[in-house]
Amino acid sequence: RAKSHGKNQMEFFDEKMQITLENQLNIERKLSSAIENKELYIEFQPQYKLPSGELRGFEVLARWCNPIIGQVSPTSFIPMAESNGLIVSIGKRIMKEACFGFEKLVSEYKIPPTLSINVSVVQFQDPEFIPYVKSIIEASGIEPKYLEFEITESVCITSPEVARHILTELKLLGIKISLDDFGTGYSSLSYLRTLPLDVVKIDKSFIEPIGKIPNEKNIVKTIIDMAHQLDLEVIAEGIEEKIQYDYLIQNNCDYVQGNYIGKPLPIFAL
């Protein structure tokens, strides 16, 4: 744990730490059998076009429900799966399930929606990643133009050359790329210029203060304007209130995603 707080750190052992460690090991052990035990599933969170409110597509979100520990948030199990490598197989299953579920979504919603799939930096390092994406596209019959991969800037920080190569391959296949959680972390503007991006997603932490903290909303407007100057589209995430929705329409945001206009989410088991 000292190491996770940075180099040259020291911490003394206490019993509470032992419990957290055991707890984590216990959860990690359960996660490794979660796929075969069919405890993982995906939910689709709708995204809407502005100002019309028409459906644009869905973000595919991983869910885990274990019979003993119950529902575990992806904010806990995804980082765990990233650090032990399980994300590679979990990510494959999610992609497979989402692509094979596409037909069902098309028949339900009449227009083909875009599917936004979160892809972790660890998946990019897997040499089988691109061949797997190709094989799933072929097997499921989904047209790649309906697929969008959400990456975070960690993809570029860890290995910029690999990232650029893989993103270029994905673009050649016809898959859209969106930069997730924009505005958090380093948010180096050079990524916006140098990566083959289509969409920028504004993190929900910037949407939440709209209508509550004066001036915060100006950051949102600035991101939208900047992205448009660079020919990128913008999705604002975490819309819960009308005031946020109205502000985003007024400031020409392209799409919104969140609980405000949420319909029940379609759910598929993995």
Q: How far is the CB of 186 from ligand C2E (least distance, A)?
A: 16
Structure tokens at 119: 């892809």
Q: Pick what 251 binds: Ca ion, ligand C2E, none; C-beta below 5 to 8 Å, kind-dependent.
A: none
Footprint (CB under 5 A) of Ca ion, residues 56-115? none
Structure tokens at 180: 């997730």
Q: Which is nearer to Ca ion, 30 or 207 (CB)?
A: 207
| C-alpha to C-alpha distance for 92 and 186, rounded to whole angstroms | 28
Footprint (CB under 5 A) of Ca ion, residues 156-195? 180-181
Q: Pick what 258 binds: Ca ion, ligand C2E, none; C-beta below 5 to 8 Å, kind-dependent.
A: ligand C2E
With binding defined as CB under 5 A, does residue 153 bind Ca ion? no
The sign of the dihedral angle between the CA atoms of 244, 250, 253, 254 is: positive
CB 265: neighbour CB atoms within 10 A?
A: 13
Contact 35, 93 (CB under 8 A): yes
Footprint (CB under 6 A) of ligand C2E, residues 37-56? 45
With binding defined as CB under 6 A, does residue 62 bind ligand C2E? yes
* DSSP-derived secondary structure letter, 4: G
Q: Pick what 137 binds: Ca ion, ligand C2E, none; C-beta below 5 to 8 Å, kind-dependent.
A: none
Q: Which is nearer to ligand C2E, 101 or 258 (CB)?
A: 258
Footprint (CB under 6 A) of ligand C2E, residues 234-263? 237-240, 257-259
Pairing of β 55-66 and β 40-49: antiparallel
Pairing of β 114-118 and β 40-49: unpaired
- Measured torsion, CA atoms of residues 49, 101, 121, 181, in degrees rounded to the nearest 10: 20
CB 9: neighbour CB atoms within 10 A?
A: 10
Cis amide linkage into residue 51, ω under 30° from 0: yes
- State whether residue 138 is helix, strand or coil: helix
> How many residues of this chain bind ligand C2E (CB under 6 A)?
22
With binding defined as CB under 6 A, does residue 74 bind ligand C2E? yes
* DSSP-derived secondary structure letter, 262: P
- Residue sitting closest to ligand C2E (CB): 258
What is the pattern of x (binds ligand C2E, CB under 6 A) and - over residues 107-136? -----------x-x----------------
Binding footprint of Ca ion on the chain (CB under 5 A):
118, 150, 180-181, 237
Q: Would you tell me which residues interact with ligand C2E (CB under 6 A)?
A: 45, 60-62, 73-75, 78, 91, 94, 118, 120, 180-181, 204, 237-240, 257-259
